[in-house]
Amino acid sequence: MDQISLDITNLFAPIVGPRAGLNEEEFKAMAEPSRQALAAVQERRERDLRWLALPQAEGVRDEILTYADSVKGQFDNVVILGIGGSGLGMRALQTALNGPYHDLEPQAGLPRLFVLDNVDPDLIGEFLETNDPARTLFNVISKSGGTAETMSQFLIFRQQLIEAVGAEEHARHVVVTTDAERGFLREIADREGYCAFTVPDGVGGRFSVLSPVGLLPAALVGIDIEGLLKGADHMDERCRGAEFMDNPALVCAAVQYLLQTNHDLPIAVTFSYSHRLRDLADWYAQLLAESIGKRQGRDGSTVHAGPTPVRAVGVTDQHSQVQLYMEGPFDKWFTFLAVEQSDHTVTIPEAYGDIPGVGYLGGRTLNELFAAERDGTRVALTDAGRPNMTVSFPRVDAHTIGQYLYMMELAVAVMGEHYGVDAFDQPGVEAGKVAAYALMGREGFAEEKTRIEAGMPTERRTL
Amino acid sequence: MDQISLDITNLFAPIVGPRAGLNEEEFKAMAEPSRQALAAVQERRERDLRWLALPQAEGVRDEILTYADSVKGQFDNVVILGIGGSGLGMRALQTALNGPYHDLEPQAGLPRLFVLDNVDPDLIGEFLETNDPARTLFNVISKSGGTAETMSQFLIFRQQLIEAVGAEEHARHVVVTTDAERGFLREIADREGYCAFTVPDGVGGRFSVLSPVGLLPAALVGIDIEGLLKGADHMDERCRGAEFMDNPALVCAAVQYLLQTNHDLPIAVTFSYSHRLRDLADWYAQLLAESIGKRQGRDGSTVHAGPTPVRAVGVTDQHSQVQLYMEGPFDKWFTFLAVEQSDHTVTIPEAYGDIPGVGYLGGRTLNELFAAERDGTRVALTDAGRPNMTVSFPRVDAHTIGQYLYMMELAVAVMGEHYGVDAFDQPGVEAGKVAAYALMGREGFAEEKTRIEAGMPTERRTL
């Protein structure tokens, strides 16, 4: 069984220096709180943290596979209408598990995938002009059906569909993923006769990639969802009983907490040395930021907690961000994502043997160069006193991706316990939503509109 | 003349609160240092900061247009082999000025664009399998010709080309952008008879987008490079003589410096409320991080300076990062990028009038929704005490993009003066390069290899 591994050597003070590196005592002291945090999280597994048990939801998996099979070959395009957790997971899966040129040269029988997770009129307008709705399946994803962005998109593409294929036929082009019973989108699905999948209770948006939210579109574009779930199940198993030192989710949670709290490193960089793994960093950025970025602790105190997730891609960002990472403030730590075995081997041909700065490359492989740059950067950051750990993927496949997704979800849930915050709400996005509703003139928000307009300074400083 | 504008109202303490907001005194006190910094930068315009005068390089522009015209219609694909500043500027231009589906549905006669700024074997291997070299023009970009990533790619694609079209014909498929006289790539171009453009002296990678590095590929994919240069020229003019308060580059530099230094906000978020402007944030991230992220001050002192640039996209990241931005630590400030006039207007059709959470959207436009969400988020962040400014683009076109690029380049040069660092070197990337050379077995690096291997802990902590 290929499993992902963690190398945490370079997090510790003897290697990386005492300025930012962990010491043995504080690390060991996390064993007991970690055990307790894990117990507290797992205790809610059957209750309100149902996402923990998604790897075992085989019935749902089979329904998805049956549906995907039934529409196979009928559509050239799958379009996700969804935002936040409804888009980021699937985009990460697509980038990791389908080739980078999947949409340009789709494999026989597989549709292209578009994640329309914005309402910028220039993006949606252009898509309306470019895309043929008659060859497209729209997957509308919103648990509540009240997400303004997603529902606006739905209204727009529904109309385009009806104009293109007729009112009756259009229902075949829509599949929704929403609450089992409640909400506007469930009501619409019932009324229109759309095929519908369920976002189970106890599965928040950012913890939903292994539910139909991520699995349905994944299956539609040919991703091995069985492998994903098996990988997640393997990680679930691995983390359920293991002691702190052998438990990757607990170690991830503990080091994140220690490095921010004890060592004042507010920035957590996911440095993906793999083009295919790069969008995992965006998925994790939501998971981490929305879960731990909280004003209030669970005890009611004001904490303003939360690491800031940053995404970097190697080798690309060696020529963009590494200068800052090497020499800038001691305010970051790094998680390298490394792939042990690429799917391709690319040899650099020999040429210009008489030109020294070029000739030495000939006969080597890009695989060697890529690994040397990754290891070189890691050595350099370590020498510069910057704590870093490495998550190694034996290869990039559904099984290892499933492991990673589950590991980080569990790690973030455990972090919530360490930071003392509720990792499963998002009160801070309400204010902006309310302001937007008010400015859009939605009923019931008139007072808020007046308040906003009164609060806006009439004299603005501009240049 | 449509010009971009800055609204800095929400940076100040009376609006955003004293915790992170600027006060009038410290802002005004920046007038004189800003004047001096600008003078110090402009004094080097004819000497070593030649990028300042790129907007006036009309001869180069005409050469590029002549070349682009000469190859028009001959290639389906333009591929950039380049990394860092050789790729980020062009990608930002492509995203901003060609449609989001340009590569899927190229406009008649225009090639697709691929920026291959990585050497991941899975990326390059897949591209080799997918792309037809006989229909492709490769633009190899490296000032020194010693960039290992770019030269490796060049060797690989050169061989593929020769196999596909023959040794003689292959030269027509390669155009290089490199030093005027020196370096490995210039030597190779001379030997092979490649068409070659020049990276002028005094134009570092991250300041090169308005040189042939950015302009040549831009012209090849139909971007209005004359408009770009005119926009940059307009900003150059606007910032040359203007006093601090009316000078957008000086204000950008001053507020960045004050917010980090006096208010302890190490993270600078570029929050693009435009799908088209989103990659400008990656371009700026390199510019800012490599220029200001420095260990040593110019006086030799150890400073570990540098803001950390972060990219966010509205509305998408309202559902990912805004929770953290609203409630997390007071360690960030925000630059909104806003577009006043979109190219598309998209109306939301009326439907489901009896479903309250959906019906209110009908009859409105996505443009209204997008603007309401942007303004709503800005109000909410302001109310939460988070300093923010807004850069408004009257519309997204070559002229406004040219203005923005030049403004930020100049701002970063001025920041170098405020922070007291050399904004034009990048000593911190050398260590990683040397380590990579050593691990690749390049001649002359054997000692370094021994040192690295000796320094690597033999006992690693893994799980």
Confidence of residue A106 (pLDDT cuts 50, 70, 90): confident
In the three-class reduction of DSSP (H, G, I as helix; E, B as strand; rest coil), residue B110 is classed as coil
Q: Are strands B5-7 and B388-393 parallel, antiparallel or unpaired?
A: antiparallel
Q: In one letter, which amino acid is B8? A: I
Per CATH, the number for A5-42+228-419 is 3.40.50.10490
Phi, psi angle pair for A39, to nearest 5°: -60, -40
Flag whether residue B171 sits within 8 Å of chain A, measured between CB atoms.
no
Nearest to B344 among A122, A320, A332 (CB): A122
Task: Judge whether B72 counts as a catalytic residue.
Answer: no
Q: What does the pLDDT average to over B164-189?
A: 97
Report the C-alpha gap between B365 and A434 in whole angstroms.
18
Mean pLDDT, residues B324-353 taken together: 97
Say how far apart CA A18 and CA A151 lie, in whole Å: 52
Section B66-73 average pLDDT:
96
Specify the range with the lowest mean pLDDT, choosing from A237-241, B105-109, B366-370: B105-109
CA distance B196 to chain A (A): 18
Q: Is the confidence at residue B175, as pLDDT, over 80?
A: yes
- Catalytic residue status for A72: no
A138 vs A429, which has greater pLDDT?
A138
Amino acid in the structure at residue A133: P
**Are the beta carbons of B188 and A438 separated by less than 8 Å?**
no
Is the model's pLDDT at A443 over the cut of 90? no
Burial A207-236 (b: 16+ CB within 10 A, else e): bbbbbbbbbbbbbbbbbbbbbbbbbbbbbb
Q: Which of A316-325, B168-177, B341-350, B454-463 has the lowest mean pLDDT?
A: B454-463
Considering only residues B224 and B445, tell me which one the structure prediction assigns the higher pLDDT.
Answer: B224
Residues 6+ apart with CB under 8 A from A119: A149, A152, A153, B315, B366, B369, B370, B373
Main-chain phi, psi angles of B279, to 5 degrees: -80, -10
Report the largest interatomic distance among the alpha carbons of chain B, rounded to a whole angstrom.
Answer: 76
* Any A CB within 8 A of B61 CB: no
Distance from C-alpha of B394 to C-alpha of B388, rounded to nearest angstrom:
19
Question: Which pLDDT value is given to residue B443?
Answer: 82
Report the percent of chain B where pLDDT is more than 70: 100
> Are residues B321 and A431, on separate chains, in Cβ contact within 8 Å?
no
Tokens of B14: 């009376």
Distance CA B278, CA B284 (A): 10
B5 CB burial (10 A radius; 0-12, 13-18, 19+):
middle
Position B454 scores a pLDDT of 79
**Predicted local confidence at residue A441, as pLDDT:** 80
A134 inside 8 A of chain B by CB: no
A231 — pLDDT class (breaks 50, 70, 90):
very high
Contact across the interface for B320 and A151, Cβ inside 8 Å: no
Identify the residue among A7, A30, A122, A256 best suited for mutation to test binding to B, counting B beta carbons within 10 A and taking the highest. A122
A window 34-53, beta carbon within 8 A of B: none
Domain ranges of chain B: 5-42+228-419, 51-223
What pLDDT digit, counting tens, does each position of A114-162 carry? 999 999 999 999 999 999 999 999 999 999 998 999 999 999 999 999 9
A184 at interface of B, judged by CB pairs closer than 8 A:
yes
Question: Phi/psi of residue A399, each to 5°?
Answer: -65, -45
Cβ-based contacts of B266 with chain A (< 8 Å)? 266-267, 329, 331
Q: Quick check: B388 contacting A, CB < 8 Å?
A: no
CA–CA distance, A96 with A90 (Å, rounded to integer): 10
Q: Average pLDDT, whole number, for chain B?
A: 95
Average pLDDT over residues A81-109: 91
d(CA B384, CA B387): 9
Q: Answer for the pair A252, A246: CB distance below 8 angstroms, yes or no.
A: no
H-state helical runs in A131-221: 148-165, 167-170, 184-192, 212-220
Give pLDDT tens digits for A351-406: 999 998 899 999 999 999 999 999 999 999 999 999 999 999 999 999 999 999 99
Q: How far is A63 from chain B (nearest CA, A)?
A: 28
Q: What is the pLDDT at residue B449? A: 86
**Does A261 touch chain B if contact means CB atoms closer than 8 Å?**
no
Contact A357 B322 (CB under 8 A): no
Nearest CA in chain A to B99: A126
pLDDT top residue among B459 and A238: A238
Residue B148 pLDDT exceeds 80: yes
Looking at the predicted structure, is the pLDDT value of residue B1 above 70?
Answer: no
pLDDT at position A185 is 96
What is the C-alpha to C-alpha distance for residues A308 and B310, in angstroms, rounded to an integer?
Answer: 9
Q: Which helix (H) or strand (E) element contains residue A272?
A: strand A267-273
Nearest CA-CA partner of A205 in A96, A307, A290: A290
Q: Which of B184, B286, B352 sits opposite A357 (nearest CB)?
A: B184
B168-188 mean pLDDT: 96
pLDDT value, residue A339: 98
pLDDT at residue A1, as a whole number: 61
In this structure, are residues B452 and B439 in contact, taking their beta carbons and an 8 Å threshold?
yes
Chain B residue with CA closest to A244: the answer is B463
Q: Give percent of chain A above pLDDT 70.
A: 100
pLDDT tens profile B8-34:
999 999 999 988 999 999 999 999 999
Three-class DSSP category at B64: helix
Looking at residues A189-197, what average pLDDT do you find? 97
Question: Least CA distance to A289: which residue of chain B?
Answer: B324
Q: Check if the beta carbon of residue A259 is closer than 8 Å to that of residue A20.
A: yes
- For the question of residue A102 being annotated catalytic, the response is no
Query: pLDDT digits over A201-221, tens only?
Result: 999 999 999 999 999 999 999
Q: Is B353 on the interface with A (CB under 8 A)?
A: no
Contact: B308, A306; criterion CB under 8 Å: no
Any B CB within 8 A of A195 CB? no
Which tokens hold the place of B177? 């952008």
Higher pLDDT, residue B219 or B451: B219
Q: B369 falls in which pLDDT band (50, 70, 90)? A: very high
Phi, psi of A314 (to 5 degrees): -100, 150
Average pLDDT, chain A: 95
CA-based nearest distance A343→chain B, Å: 6
A460 touches chain B (CB under 8 A): yes
CB contact under 8 A, B431 and A104: no
Residue from A105, A319, A447, A459 carrying the catalytic annotation: A319
Residue in chain B lying closest to A325 (CA) = B293
Q: For residue B80, give the H/E element and its range.
A: strand B77-81
Q: Which of A343, A376, A455 sits opposite B435 (nearest CB)?
A: A376
Mapped onto helix, strand or coil, the DSSP state of residue A88 is: helix
Fold that domain A51-223 belongs to in CATH: Rossmann fold (3.40.50)
* Per-residue confidence band for B457, with pLDDT thresholds at 50, 70 and 90: confident
**DSSP assignment letter at A346:** -
Of B275, B370, B462, the CB nearest to A6: B462
Q: Over 90: is that where the pLDDT of A229 sits?
A: yes
Please give the Cα distance from A311 to A281 (Å, whole number): 6
pLDDT digits over B300-323, tens only?
Answer: 999 999 999 999 999 999 999 999
Question: Out of A120, A429, A443, whose CB is closest to B274?
Answer: A120
Assembly ipTM: 0.97
B324 to chain A, any CB pair closer than 8 A? The answer is yes
